[in-house]
Structure 1
């Protein structure tokens, strides 16, 4: 597309991401918004320097309480918000800034997270909407996936992240 987003075949919703030596692709024919992201874990210095841009004070407290190095937790947050942006972009075609969504919880053992929209993008994606995501953590990479029903489709789907 002119916005540099991929053009998928009719009836296919998909998301693509890549980082140093790795790529991720999530594809479905279900009526879902789908966003996948893969990131190399940022350096401790980068995590500290970008914290104010990526997260609220409350999110920083949540991330520092996780049983992870802060750089890995900050990368997780960045990746979750990137997956959210990628999932919503095809429905909204609106830019999203990091403060427009927040991490409410992250269960490291289960690989699950909950985000909330802090901004109303549309009637279907309004402030207060909670979105669930899944993630995999590796020593040097973070992989995240967020899916939610497409606007007008209220039927939840089974988890596609396996």
Structure 2
């Protein structure tokens, strides 16, 4: 799993083109936005408009009840239904729910969790954008929180860029 984390850190300096899912439940709590989804995808774009990667966010629970955040890089927005298109700015039309932000440059990427005997367990990632922080927390329903203030109480820092 650490190798995936290392690869995920490379999104620093990229752009968050959107958050997609088959279903995104959206709530506003005070000044924060909270998105809930079972299998959300982050669409990450490099400076080249057609250089898109999708990061599927999933989770598993171990035998003692600890939740692990799983990240998988992929070239398509599966499992969300989509169509390929021939456009220099866009590769796919995605038939699911979406969420995007105006200021989308990823300035920093951090991972939080805990360490057991030999492993580092990732339970949350935080993307620092120009105006907001996006924290993605594990659980049966993935919670994505968009806030203007840096999140705290997320566990021990495992990595930061």
Q: TM-score range by the shorter chain?
A: 0.3 to 0.5
Point out the structure with the larger strand share: 2
Point out the structure with the larger helix share: 1
What's the TM-score once normalised by structure 2's chain length? 0.34
